[in-house]
Chain A
Amino acid sequence: MTDETSSAGSPGPAETHEEGWIDPTERNWFRFSIVLLVAFAVAVGVAGFALGFQVPGDEARVDPRTVADEAPWSDRIDNPVREVAPGEYVVYMIARQFRYEPNTITVPEGSTITFYVTSIDVQHGLKIQDTNINLQIVPGQVSKLTTTLDKAGTYPFICHEFCGLGHAGMFGTLTVEAGEG
């Protein structure tokens, strides 16, 4: 028991000693915690806005009932990967129950590739393994993200949002071919 006691009937005025209400050790932890959290915020902010490790933003809106038949998505099967500049590719993709269109994508090693993805039915996900492409696909919205593929290999891309009974089978393949660059 501490010595200071005051009876319940007479609570008395609040003694707001500026020094008294935090233990000195805890005060140091209080300050250190703030420094620590600011350090995290700076680390992710610098990586995001200066070093190019960015999350998707606000891109464009579409009508999910008609987008599949409208350019540039209407051409997605015949022309899955479009080279817009040397080494720079664009993919317009539709996610639907329970497949991606296009479902196989091939680009040369060292390519920069941009995905514009939307859904014509429910929400889906798009995660390309071993890359930072990770998108929530929402009908009515266009998800956009760009990355550079430096290592040749096969990268499955996977639906990571529950989209119906066939969800677990929804995936596609991105192939990065060695050589040409």
Chain B
Amino acid sequence: MADNAGSPVEFDESTFKPTGTVAVVALFVVVLALLWLSIYLILIARGVTT
């Protein structure tokens, strides 16, 4: 994916679309969900407490 062609000098920041950022946060959400769920499942496996 190379939609941002152009040398450093020519880069037009007014049309900047943070595509890489979207990829980073998407990755973050996957990692967050997996790690959180793994701890949540430990809770479930250790049985109820009332």
Using a CB–CB cutoff of 8 Å, the interface residues on chain A facing chain B are 2-3, 23, 25-26, 29, 32, 36, 40, 43-44, 47, 51-55, 130-133, 145-150
Contacts and interface: CB of A to CB of B under 8 A. Distances in A.
Interface string B17-50: 1100110010001001000100010011011111
Contact of B49 (A3, A32, A43, A145): A145
B50 A52 contact: yes
A132 B48 CA distance: 7
B10 to A, nearest CB: 14
A53 B49 contact: yes
A132 B46 contact: yes
Contacts of A32: 29
B47 A150 contact: yes
A51 B48 contact: yes
Contacts of B3: none
A105 B40 CA distance: 28
Given A2-B13, A36-B32, A132-B49, 8 more contacts: A25-B17, A29-B22, A29-B25, A47-B40, A52-B50, A133-B49, A145-B50, A148-B47
Chain A contact surface mostly: mixed
Given A2-B14, A25-B17, A147 B47 contact: yes
Interface of B: 13-14, 17-18, 21-22, 25, 29, 32, 36, 40, 43-44, 46-50
A46 B50 CA distance: 13
B43 to A, nearest CB: 6
8 interchain residue pairs of minimum CB distance: A52-B48, A132-B46, A132-B49, A146-B50, A147-B49, A54-B50, A145-B49, A52-B50
A70 to B, nearest CB: 26
Contacts of A40: 36
A157 to B, nearest CB: 14
A26 B24 CA distance: 13
A43 B43 CA distance: 12
Nearest to A2: B14
